Structure 1
Amino acid sequence: MPGTNLTRAEATARAALLDVLSYDIELDLTTGPETFGSTTTITFTSTEAGASTFADLVDATVHEITLNGVALDPAVAYQDSRIQLDGLAAENVLVVKADCTYSHTGEGLHRFVDPADDRVYLYSQFEVPDARRVYTTFEQPDLKSVFTFHVTASEGWKVVSNAVTPEPKPLGDGRATWDFEPTKKMSTYITALIAGEYHEVQDVYEGKFGTIPLGHYCRQSLVPYLDRDEVVKITKQGFEFFEDAFDFPYPFGKYDQLYVPEYNMGAMENAGAVTLRDEYLPRSKQPRSFYDFRASVILHEMAHMWFGDLVTMKWWDDLWLNESFAEWACYHAQANATEFTDAWTGFTNARKQTGYRQDQLPTTHPIAADNYDLQAVEVNFDMITYAKGASVLKQLVAWVGLEPFLEGLKAYFKEFAYGNSEFKDLLRHLEAASGRELQGWAQEWLQTSGVNTLAPEFTLAEDGSYAAFAVRQSAAADYPTLRRHRIGLGLYDLVDGALVRRDAFEIDVTGELTSVPQLEGVKQPDLLLLNEGDLTYAKIRLDERSLATALSSLSALDDSLSRALIWGAAWDMTRDAEMRASDFVELVLANIGQETDAWGVTRIPVFAAQAVNSFSAPANRDALKARWETGLKSLLESAAPSSDHQLTFARTYAAAARSEAAIADLQAMLSGELAYDGLEIDQDLRWALVTGLAASGTFGETEIAAELERDNTISGQEKAAAARAAQPTAEAKAAAWDAVVVRTDVANETARSIVLSFQRSGQDEVLEPYIDRYFEAADTLWDHLGTHRASTVLEFIFPKPAASPELLEKADKWLETSPAEPAAKRYVREGRDEVARALAAQERDAQ
């Protein structure tokens, strides 16, 4: 039985048969806290009289089904999340009356009650295939239609959808109905409904194509934290930039951004009604990287209004193109239209690293994955889709030129507005605009897996100049594709204690070895940097002299993007067991205090902590943990007051503290006995200190409960759950395991907080029983918990801290014998690979 799955072949056949003219959707949100009423009328045509098809509806109690005026028995017609429709006419009307179920996992229509004030908030999340949890649909992206929503809700609520919110019509009993105008033509997955006691503010953007109303919404308890001026500024900068770059008016009239609770994603590009996780409205001080990332999210979703919403992929094979394009576009816009002009440096230091990691796992896949059904989409929706895809589009821009790239986009939007397309359609326009042949480029970059490594290869003349120079390209044995790369080369010399760029130029790298005649006779620099400007997606290696210069003088290099490339190369080498974890940690301690890139400051210590806890040799680990702890204390003491460095080092020190002295510091910071000029111990930092003390065994339930009483918000509940899971006791681990593996009723973000806090280095004894329990549970977790919850648990509760050859054997045996879903096995394969990588790094660190 297909269940909630849908194959590409089924979707192709249904799209050939149907043209969906309209949806009329009546939703009653006043029927109680568990379910809501959903009545859907779909008007559609069929190319074949008498044919059969099906509509989609998930987790519903169906009361009535009528096709062309004829009643169908729901017990017969509604089976396995599908409504069978036989004997179609040329013109058809389907009416389905049902009760649907509210979600608490962020899929479908999520219902949340704010513990701060007991107010109710609802919001929809439909990507990839979850509109069918709210109304009856033909759930595939190429059956676009227009949607008319009629929503009955409490009279004082705000109700928002894709069309402009109408005036509510009171029903006289504390309820009202909102009758929305029909939407523009769109896919089901970008329709939206947000309703509840939201706070609303309105602004407008006046642009080259006219006026766009801008709405911003959040929970009432977050009103003090809605930094309206900043989010409006970014929004207006984005519209000005994209309307000019794409030469196409914003397609959906008004533009609302709604900050919603317990979100299982970062944000969603619902047409004209973007939802974002409300953690983007911080209640405590955050580093600049937080606001940098928030700006990228706002611009990412805005870019989707054109790429994804206006023009939509025909099938999920091209999901990568939606996300990769929006990812590239948001950083391009940030760098050129906002205060975050160094956005690409942050991308290199943080986001791009997630793509490199994903692409080196055994579950890697091409950017343009073969998404033959919805289950394949769920498996392949990852950082290859986002980070690698954006990196490759950045390389494409370098290959064809920015102006031809944008000219191709403009023509593409005009041809396919409000319709569906495939990648070949975009490629055709880019080839026409640039004059470049791109079919071969697309084959090697988009339809193959793995990351290349670029390394310098040269000989020196007696005078110290290059006698010959080439770039050697290599690839992993399992993914041997060698690609064409447009890269920069940078030459740097140490001059009066500073690393100064002497020269930089671009070349095309092709095949295994590419000669660089421009460098023949040129004096060898102190540092030669491949991929200057970070134009391509590849790991780089430094020659012996350049590596020595980088290790000794990284902070002497003024250019933040060049530093980011060196940070990345050092981290790659550590993960690849080519650099000792101890050496990477020393590199970080020596240079992170001088780093200027916001993402470098906050993300690189995360890598260093992983080096300490996972990649260090067991015999060296205690000493390296002590070195990391004392080094962080020194960095905290010397950081400038109120700086990002100070806040980051305080948080990282709280996570690293294990010695008696460090634990005493955390307690003193929490009580106010130890203070640092400019460092406010606000609520989020208090939780970081409490969690650090809980992880060390110093704090228990009494202290955690007392802190929760101070902060009885949903955020406080989530952080308290994480602190409890961090405790090194059998009771704490058992309670955490029960909450996220056994039970299914724990709130979405609370469960995620527990999962992320469960596995901790140095808690081997209390975690040992959960090695076998993990593999036992993994057999059935996918069905038991559902896609989103199961993927989080399987990834983050894998027993990575127990890295050993024995653990690899257990994983191998499970992979060979388990009846688990292929999607579940993916996460176990990835966990196994991370353990194997850690063991190799530990062996290198011991040398």
Structure 2
Amino acid sequence: MNLTRDEARQRAAIVSVHSYAINLDLTRGDSIFGSTTVVSFDAEQGTSTFIDAVTASVHRVTLNGVDLDVADVSDGVRIRLDNLAVSNELVIDADMLYMNTGEGLHRFVDPVDNEVYLYTQFEVPDSRRVFAVFEQPDLKATFRFTVTAPSHWDVISNSPTPQPAEAGSADEGGARSTWAFEPTPVLSSYVTALIAGPYQSVRSELTSSDGRTIPLGVFARKSLMQHLDAENVFELTRQGFEFFEEQFGAPYPFEKYDQLFVPEFNAGAMENAGAVTFLESYVFRSRVTEATIERRAITILHELAHMWFGDLVTMRWWNDLWLNESFAEFMSTLASAEATKFTQSWTTFASLEKAWAYRQDQLPSTHPIVAPINDLEDVQVNFDGITYAKGASVLKQLVAWVGQDKFMQGVREYFGKHAWSNTELSDLLVELEKASGRDLKEWSAQWLETAGVNTLRPEITSNDDGAITSFAVQQSAVADFPTIRSHRLAIGFYDLTGNGQLERSHRVELDIAGERTAVDELIGLQQPDLVLLNDDDLAYAKIRLDDRSLRTATRHLKDFSESLPRTLVWASAWDAARDGETPARNYVELILQNIASESDSSVVLVLLRQLATTLALYVSPADRQPMEIAAADSLWQLAEGADAGSDSQLQFVKAFAVHAQTGPQLDIIERILDGSAAPEGLTVDADLRWELLTSLVVGGRKTQRDIDAELEQDATATGALAAAQAKAAIPTAEAKEEAWTAIVERSDMPNAAQRSAIAGFTRVHDTNLLEPFAGKYFASAKDVWANRTHEIAQQIIVGLYPSRLTTQGTLAATDEFLATLDPDLASLRRLVLENRDGVARALRAQAADK
């Protein structure tokens, strides 16, 4: 199942692919579908290679008119091709398996109406689960899909949907039709797509910059259409089209743009050319926070940016995956801030994306942004905070250094020269150097080819009158990743005004380098109440506050007049608590005393997550339960004090439900659930009911009977997932054992149900319930990795690691497991090492929490 980079290079050296004609029969039952692929390709005369095809069975392989011995050339994963001609036609007739893992062709049955819904997910290596393909990004070709399916379905692919032709009756009865799509433009196979089923849609259109009319479609299952806010999706799409076409200097490259919300999706979205698939949770059937609405907007813009960066121009090999993802991440935030109502998106970026990047960059598995990708297993675990968030952060700093106009000028040249082809990083850097006049070799070496995050601290002295006599920025790095980098950053001075607000009084932007950079232009100025390094968040670095600034921040964090500097101070406090430099309990207190005044929904969301992590992992175990109980009481007070119907009210109630555990606290949850004590303005809708019910299940107040009764009232796919989580959260040894068996020992649980069950299994107030499963985890991990698909195995390896058991015993058991692990299982080793680091960090933080 693996493909090495060397194998891909060798294959690309002898093969050039022209086209695929793919005929799929989706009317053969609920486990198998038919797949016939005709591939036209050139090769070096007399050479041998292979084509990828993960099959249930292969009926026929014909190469240049000669039938090959199927048993000899096919092993169910690859098909060997010998003695190639200069021009070749290959025909492969096979049966393929529907998946329930979110990979390949995923099959889902809606419990509301028993209708079948299909969608493909091909990144990284799973188009081979649907048709025979040379599965690597640099072997681009055109793709012509012909699909036979039930007549009442809609069938969507990269090309516009044609009028279907009647094709008789399916094996199991019912009319069937055939959709014959026109060939796609030249694409990499991983961005092709097929979505089929009785999806319903809302249609619209826009005019692209070159005058074409681009049809737009937004799709969802029939049972979700009443909740689909298509007009908001269209509005964001139009804003994104206009912004990107202007910035990139290239019109949208495809004929139409469909956006499809599909069930049981593993990621946020996937950039299939002209047919983007999204996580179905982005169809809001209940009230969600503004943070979630903004996240959907960023995701919509992220995938749209990929139509140019990733689909039109594609990396040659997966080592440049970061360029696709970081570019889309940066551009989606830029577009959101400059072209939509979400003008505070850079605050969200600082609180969410950079926090992700800093966390990933301090793990033992951290790697340079341009990571060595030796095979498919390497890339599958590299969809991480380095590839996405650190890369985007570094691009933001590069834009600040060279100027946005120059950066975009280079990008426009890049698209103009490389449309429909494959590139490497050097191709982009050449154009950016030409446009900016900057030599980017040193920048690339520092930022793209080394790992680790630097820490910046101010060094300030002042005289008796408060005037600054010296100012410098100190830079440090950890021993394992000692690179000291150059940074483009701003230094902001903030003072308390007469109305009690912290407002910026001075700003200087400069380049710093080395372990100490003097900033002489600040000498003579009055030392402000607070000095903020990396003001406006231009640089990628952790920051610390001087003592005077720290005192000001502790007392007046809520008084910042702008959200971004406040968020940067929040981030500094979080880093210090995670790093064991300050007591974790201080961070808990800082959150609970200041969060009521936080205006940004995404920041509130992040702070509440960090509060939960701090309480569960970083505070001293001896004081944990009292602090959790006190925090829950504070959250309820915050909920009662929040404006009726406000976003913060909803977030505080949800957080209270997570932490509630005493009798009086659970009494409040029960009264909210039955409607007798809901705060004014709070609507207890279907999703909130499940959160409240699960809180009561974890607290021992509700049982399986209550879960079943709630599911009867909400007999939907979303309800079933919530019920699976609640069931796994029942706080008994028997319930945990049953959940473990379903997740680990059986293999029939769909991806989304497994994800929910893992979340429920690990949600406990008493970690003693999890102790019997630590040994089972290490005993089963290798088998899980060997016998499950990548997505399913990764969910289990990450989700069931005993991270709540923050003891030396957990570290010792992990080390013993790693010592016996085959060196070839590098991806499994990486995931377990990352889990181990979380426990080691927690122990360091607990030691500092005094």
Distance 1:265 1:316 in 2: 18
> Does residue 1:427 correspond to 2:429, yes or no?
yes
Match of 2:163 in 1: 167
After TM superposition, what 4+ stretches of structure 1 lie above 3 angstroms from structure 2? none
Q: Measure how far apart 1:319 and its partner are.
A: 0.5
Equivalence map 1:383-782=2 (5 Å): 383-496=385-498, 497-782=500-785
The 2-side partners of 1:761 and 1:476 are apart by 35
Matched-pair contact (CA < 8 Å) for 1:601–1:644: no
Counterpart in the other structure of 1:134: 130
**Identical-pair percentage:** 51
**Where do 5+ consecutive residues of structure 2 fail to align?**
170-174
1:228 aligns with 2:230: yes
- 1:239 is matched with 241
> 1:762 Cα deviation (Å)?
3.0
Query: One-letter code of the match for 1:360?
Result: Q
Q: Is contact 1:60–1:133 with CA below 8 Å preserved after alignment? A: no
Q: What residue in structure 1 maps to residue 69 of structure 2?
A: 73
Query: What is the Cα deviation at residue 267 of structure 1?
Result: 0.5
Residue number in structure 2 paired with 1:31: 28
Answering whether residue 845 of structure 2 is matched by residue 841 of structure 1, we say: yes
What secondary structure is seen at the aligned counterpart in 2 of 1:110?
strand
1:830 to 829, 834, 838: 834
User: 2 CA distance for matches of 1:59 and 1:458?
Assistant: 66
Q: Distance in 2 between matches of 1:243 and 1:102?
A: 38
Q: Is the 8 A contact 2:699 2:765 kept in 1?
A: no
Aligned to 2:349: 347
Conservation of the 8 A alpha-carbon contact between 2:49 and 2:82: yes
- Structure 1 residue ranges without an equivalent (≥5): none
C-alpha contact (below 8 Å) 1:779/1:819 kept by paired residues:
no
Does the CA contact (< 8 Å) of 2:583 and 2:848 recur in 1?
A: yes
- Aligned-partner Cα distance in 2 for 1:207–1:12: 37
Q: Indicate whether 1:205 and 2:202 are aligned.
A: no
1:389 and 1:398 map into 2 onto residues whose CA distance is 14
Q: Contact (CA 8 Å) 1:112, 1:120: kept in 2 or not?
A: yes
| TM superposition shift of 1:172 | 3.1
1:461 Cα deviation from its structure 2 partner: 2.1
Q: Distance in 1 between matches of 2:257 and 2:9?
A: 32
Shift of 1:19: 1.2
Kept in 1: contact 2:38–2:89 (CA 8 A) = yes
Distance in 2 separating the partners of 1:285 and 1:541: 37
Q: Which amino acid aligns with 1:592?
A: I
Conserved? CA contact 2:148–2:167, under 8 Å: no
Task: Write the distance in 2 (CA, Å) between the matches of 1:455 and 1:592.
Answer: 25
Alpha-carbon deviations, 1:262-297, whole Å to 9, x = none? Answer: 001111000000000111001000111111000000
Question: Which residue, out of 126, 148, 152, partners 1:152?
Answer: 148
Residue 768 (structure 1) shift:
1.1
- Partners of 1:624 and 1:819 lie apart in 2 by 42
Moved more, 771-780 or 549-558: 771-780
* 1:13 positional shift: 1.4
Q: What residue in structure 1 maps to residue 320 of structure 2?
A: 318
Tell me the equivalent position of 1:94.
90
Cα offset, 1:764, TM superposition: 2.3
The Cα shift of 1:726 comes to 1.4
When the two chains are superposed, the root-mean-square deviation of aligned CA atoms in Å is: 1.0
Structure-2-length-normalised TM-score? 0.98
- 2: distance between equivalents of 1:222 and 1:324? 32
Deviation at 1:761, TM superposition (A): 4.9
Output the amino acid matched with 2:815.
D
SS at match of 1:801: coil
Match of 1:18 in 2: 15
What is the letter of the counterpart of residue 440 of structure 1? E
User: Partner amino acid for 2:847?
Assistant: E
Which residue identity lines up with residue 405 of structure 1 in the other structure? Answer: F
Q: SS of the counterpart of 1:640?
A: coil
**What is the letter of the counterpart of residue 825 of structure 1?**
R
Query: Contact (CA 8 Å) 2:762, 2:770: kept in 1 or not?
Result: yes
Distance 1:725 1:80 in 2: 36
Of residues 32, 39, 44, the one that matches 1:42 is: 39
Q: Secondary structure at the match of 1:79?
A: coil
In structure 1, the residue matched to 2:172 is: none
Q: Which moved more, 1:461-470 or 1:569-578?
A: 461-470
Look up the SS of the partner of 2:535 in the other structure.
coil
Residue of structure 2 equivalent to 1:61 = 57
Post-superposition offset of 1:80: 5.4
Aligned to 2:269: 267
Whole-angstrom distance in 2 between the partners of 1:443 and 1:761: 46
Counterpart of 1:218 in structure 2 is 220
Q: Cα offset for 1:822?
A: 2.1
CA distance in 1 between counterparts of 2:119 and 2:208 reads 29
Normalising by the residue count of structure 1, what TM-score does the alignment of the two structures yield?
A: 0.98
CA distance in 2, matches of 1:655, 1:344: 28
Query: Residue type of the partner of 2:393?
Result: S
CA distance in 2 between counterparts of 1:578 and 1:601 reads 23
Where 2:155 maps in the other structure, the secondary structure is strand
Q: Corresponding residue for 1:6?
A: 3
Contact 2:642–2:649 (Cα < 8 Å) also in 1 = yes
Contact (CA 8 Å) 2:673, 2:689: kept in 1 or not? yes
CA distance in 1, matches of 2:153, 2:9: 40
Q: Deviations over 1:648-676 (max 9, x none)?
A: 00100000101111100001111111121
Distance 2:300 2:409 in 1: 24
1:207 Cα offset (Å):
3.3
Number of aligned residue pairs:
842
